[in-house]
Amino acid sequence: MKTTEAPVIAEQLFNKTRAQVWQAITDIDQMVLWYFDNIPAFKAEVGFTTQFNVKAPSRDFLHVWKVTEVIPQQKITYNWTFKDCKGSADTSFELFEQDNKTLLRLTNNVIEDFDDTIPEFKRESCQAGWNYFINDRLKSFFK
């Protein structure tokens, strides 16, 4: 992924309240059920940081997250980096009320270019990953 590319966006409409969706994306006990099961801690507080390892076919990726923006029940943004890899992205989860349901819009915006010779850092992989988490895993979590 490069800074010159448009952000990756994934959206899903949930038949849940904004409070319920907010809790799913910010409460560690719920996050580990649909997102990454090895997140050690998470707080919806600006400045909070966490890190955890994800094993992929080509290598291990130590994820490093730092929360940079919080508007309760509306928006949370955190910066993603990976230890020993160049690149940085801001990922925002925004919630909108729509016909008594909640629309979740995830936007992944690259701040510093990633090395796209690494398959997991290609745009297609990023889009597929976010579609999986938002449109498959989180949707199934709410069933």
Per-residue pLDDT tens over the stretch 42-92 = 999 999 999 999 888 778 888 999 999 999 999 999 999 999 889 999 999
- The pair of structure tokens assigned to 114 is 């990633």
Its CATH architecture, for the domain 8-141, is 2-Layer Sandwich (3.30)
Q: Which of 36-75 are b and which e, b meaning 16 or more Cβ less than 10 Å from the residue's Cβ? A: beeeeebebeeeeebebeeeeeeeebebbbbbeebeebeb
Q: What are the angstrom distances between the C-alpha of 114 and each of 34, 80, 99, 118?
A: 26, 11, 38, 9
The number of CA neighbours under 13 Å toward the Cβ of 62 is 7
pLDDT at 30: 97
Structure confidence by residue, pLDDT tens digits, 3-53: 999 999 999 999 999 999 999 999 999 999 999 999 999 999 999 999 999
pTM of the model: 0.93
pLDDT at 44: 97
